[in-house]
Amino acid sequence: MKIDISEEYDFAKSGLLKEFIKNPTIIPIIRPNIIIVVKFFDFIMIPFISRVVLFFLSHLMMLYLSVY
């Protein structure tokens, strides 16, 4: 996935990054910069989400094993 540097600079300069940190629901509003926002979102959120999912999955497995 190739990203235009000038677009990235625009994004950082416009202060949308700061807004996004405060309010992640801003994603749908900025269509042209969506790739950058998603990239940023992946960078920040994916480790957190995967950790939570793994936590729940392991608990579900333990419950499942204890039932049977």
What's the pLDDT at 41?
A: 55
- Contact at 8 Å (CB) between 16 and 26? yes
Beta strands in 17-56 (DSSP E): none
In angstroms, rounded to a whole number, what is the distance separating the alpha carbons of residues 32 and 13? 15
Q: Is the pTM of this model over 0.85?
A: no
Q: Alpha-carbon Rg of the chain, whole angstroms?
A: 18
pLDDT tens-digit series, residues 16-35: 556 655 655 544 554 555 55
pLDDT tens-digit series, residues 35-64: 555 555 555 555 666 667 777 777 777 777
